[in-house]
Structure 1
Amino acid sequence: MTTPAHPLTGAELRTLRNEAARVLFTNWTGTSTVPSATLYPHQWSWDSAFIAIGLRHLSPRRAQLELETLLGAQWHDGRVPHIVFNPSVPLDSYFPSPDFWRSSTAGAEAGAPRGVETSGIVQPPVHALAARLVHEADPDASRRRNFLRRIYPKLTAWHAYLMENRDIGRHGLVSVIHPWEPGMDNSPCWDGPLSRVEPAPASSFRRADLVHSDAADRPTDLDYGRYVRLAATYRNNGYRDAGTPHPFVVEDPGFNALLIASEHALAAIAETLGEDPRPHRARAEKLTTALVNRLWSPQDELFLCYDVRAGGLIDAKSVTGLLPLLVPGLPDDIAKALQRTAAGEHFGLGSTTALVPSYDLRGQAYDPARYWRGPAWFNINWVVERGLRQYGALDSADTLTRAVLASSAASGFAEYVDPRTGQARGTTSFSWTAAVVLDLLGRTMEEDR
């Protein structure tokens, strides 16, 4: 049994806030925030969205700049790349590096920017939700800078890219074409689809991640070889979505749930700007219907991933299937079923685990140490907490808030932790961990006043 996290004292909360702020200020580069100064020395897409959500409690202006910097590297076709590279960082500090992606040349026809090097794939679209929350932190300052007015067209183009280019299955949902795109890089959900991918030779790449992290915490060399093969194939086809042979095509419920939540956020932004919110609400409703009809598994009481190439649901229980709790307007029976699943034997939230694990505790592939194959991630628990609260499970949400705060403090703002023991895994002083802590503290400390 996991030990329930007790509420931190006022002094402990203030100390935690100061430590979280220190992490974000230390990892700030002047225009954006690196996830980790050692392991991830560039700007990552969905990291920056979560970072902005936390930064708004310290500096709304800096939170705005975080998103503006990322969207400054947006491609002309609307995609927001998953990495924006810092040219001052040595090439051997991270792989795949800019000379692998070659975005400004290989991606020229797809509209890659010329003045900055990026990757060519994407990550979950949390950005509109982040932008709305950042605006709400200081609406007057946001209006003075025309923050929403400048960022709204970019966010609209980003969502349009996904809907127009990534509905590969033609069923109304966005597909991911690389395991890095849904953010849960080596989830067991990808084992089946990846098994059809011939890995790149081990001699063709050098893994910089193993210099800064324990190999037991990271994806295997075999998985990495497959990641490299998929990325190289996409690059060699000019980063074109149509006409490229995508051996890995998956409809991921978490990715689509975050898109739906961000469409609702775009509707709110449109209203603030005096624009018509109805197209965003209509798109969110259409996506929600497709999500329920296509990915909901009543017998599992969980949303499952769909392998478009094989033509069927993937029989693997991942935390990505709980993320639709963030979607407004789910059928009541589905929302209640997701709460049962989160607390049940497969995820154990509140009983055998303090934080929701990234993968099925009872699954054969479960590993509490290795990246997305079991450990608990703080940003994902932030999403689950927000979803639980949205559907009225306030006691569960409060318990999860306390667990996130306690575990982050005890682990040194770890990248991820063992969901049962809380042992730190990956790297520490991780930016989105500090960011979601600041966001949860913002509400917790306000309620305590």
Structure 2
Amino acid sequence: MTLTADRGPLHRDLLAREAARVLFGNWTGASTVPSHALYPHQWSWDSAFIAIGLRHVSPRRAQRELESLLGAQWDDGRVPHIVFNPEVPHAAYFPGPDFWRSSRTAGTPRGLETSGIVQPPVHALAALLVHEADPDTSRARGFLRRLYPRLAAWHAYLATRRDLGGRGLVSIVHPWEAGMDNSPCWDGPLSSVDPVPVSAFRRADLVAGTASDRPTDVDYGRYVRLATDYRDGGYRDDVPGAFAVEDPGFNALLIASEQALATIAELAGADPHPHRARAAALSAALVERLWDPEYGMFLCHDVRAGRPVRRRSVTGLLPLMLPDLPPEVAGTLVGTVGGAHFGLGTDTAMVPSFDLLSDAYDPARYWRGPAWFNTNWLLQRGLGAHGAETEARALGEAMLDAAGASSFAEYVDPRTAQGRGTRRFSWTAALVLDVLAGTKAP
């Protein structure tokens, strides 16, 4: 179903109903797949965004979404980025369970196969929003009381095992951990990684996806090499790997989730102060270490090379979602979002994933330029939190228009809103529901 850009109440009602149909159609009984065709398992940060939207149509199912994901948590606290559905053929996705071999690793959940890397920690924020949608049912089921220790262990894993640079920030050890898999920000840090030959693996993403939208074979070979080395090293974080990057978006989401976890702790009868202290320390380190006033945004830092990654990516804008940013930093970020490199409100209707003026910008290829609904949802919240209400409202309306016109595409061209990737994508539908719940028809 494709909807026009008519923003009247009838259109919004139809859009909400169709978004709900997408989520119900992608529900498997315990969780929601991003896409049956391209991503037929449960993904970590996808489930967090999906739960945020599901809470508007089924708070109980939204709770189950997060419960099923955290049920696959490892003993060391990490939440794996994929939980594999045993009913899906192994050949339907690569790298699949045969590659990750989690069941052969100590401290992994019994009866489940998962990956061994992680994704951005949006989960405590999602859990708090889900609770607030139906607090009576949440309290009756002990939702937050049961999730709190798992979320606390997840954050502790990141804080204690992933400060690889010793600078008080979390590092990612694989581009997939950022969620922004194919960003040009990783080109430099990946340049010394010897790619696995393409003959050594089969890319299932090219069966269901378009090659021009997806990472190149060389980049994919580097991803496989990093994942293989991490797996063969026993998924240990105390042994330096070939890739370690402090990503501002990942750290900003951890800060937001630590703040949410402090509230969850209070509701669950636990001490909120450690979470507030960790959020404050992370916030200070984020500004001190990754803020670049010359670029007017946060930059990634290559831990291995010991230098900033001088590339403008949407990940460097995501700290705008933090309400306690220094006013001068927040004001500069708002200006950067609307400036020439991202063009919101002038050149683009939605914020691109990468610098419009860079030679590496590609409006079609995965995370190298297209606009994604989850990052735009985060930026909409950030714009609103820092006084840019007009821009936030316009961005929300642009998201609704793009989702309706593209049949809930995975991502879109930031200038034309042409749909890219798979359609009827779960987090697109989920975040449409949340935008609709927070806005009123003009």
Q: 2:124: which partner in 1? A: 128
Q: 1:94: which partner in 2? A: 93
Look up the equivalent residue of 2:405 and give its one-letter code.
Answer: A
Q: 1:159: which partner in 2? A: 155
Encode CA deviations 1:23-76: one digit per residue, 9 max, x unaligned.
000000000000001000000000000000000001000000000000000000
CA distance in 2, matches of 1:421, 1:440: 21
Look up the equivalent residue of 1:338 and give its one-letter code.
Answer: L
Look up the equivalent residue of 1:202 and give its one-letter code.
Answer: V
Shift of 1:273: 2.2
- Partners of 1:44 and 1:82 within 8 A in 2: yes
Matched, 1:330 2:325: yes
Encode CA deviations 1:157-195: one digit per residue, 9 max, x unaligned.
000000000000000000000000000001000000000
Q: 1:362: which partner in 2? A: 357
CA distance in 1, matches of 2:71, 2:312: 36
The residue correspondences of 1:2-401 to structure 2 (distance < 5 A) are 8-105=7-104, 107-108=105-106, 111-243=107-239, 245-401=240-396
Look up the equivalent residue of 2:13 and give its one-letter code.
Answer: R
Structure 2 unmatched runs, 5+: none
Look up the equivalent residue of 2:433 and give its one-letter code.
Answer: L
Encode CA deviations 1:197-224: one digit per residue, 9 max, x unaligned.
0001211100000011110000000000
TM normalised by structure 1 equals 0.97
- Partners of 1:253 and 1:295 within 8 A in 2: yes
Encode CA deviations 1:99-124: one digit per residue, 9 max, x unaligned.
0000010x22xx11121000000000
Look up the equivalent residue of 1:42 and give its one-letter code.
Answer: H
Structure 1 unmatched runs, 5+: none
Identical counterparts, % of pairs: 68
- SS of the equivalent of 1:181 reads helix
CA distance in 2, matches of 1:93, 1:183: 20
- Partners of 1:198 and 1:229 within 8 A in 2: yes
- SS of the equivalent of 1:313 reads strand
- Partners of 2:5 and 2:405 within 8 A in 1: no
TM normalised by structure 2 equals 0.98
CA distance in 1, matches of 2:47, 2:402: 22
Shift of 1:6: 7.2
The runs of at least 4 consecutive aligned structure 1 residues that moved more than 4 Å come to none
- Partners of 1:257 and 1:327 within 8 A in 2: yes
- Partners of 1:261 and 1:328 within 8 A in 2: no
Look up the equivalent residue of 1:188 and give its one-letter code.
Answer: P
- Partners of 1:358 and 1:376 within 8 A in 2: yes
CA distance in 1, matches of 2:60, 2:212: 39
CA distance in 1, matches of 2:264, 2:146: 11
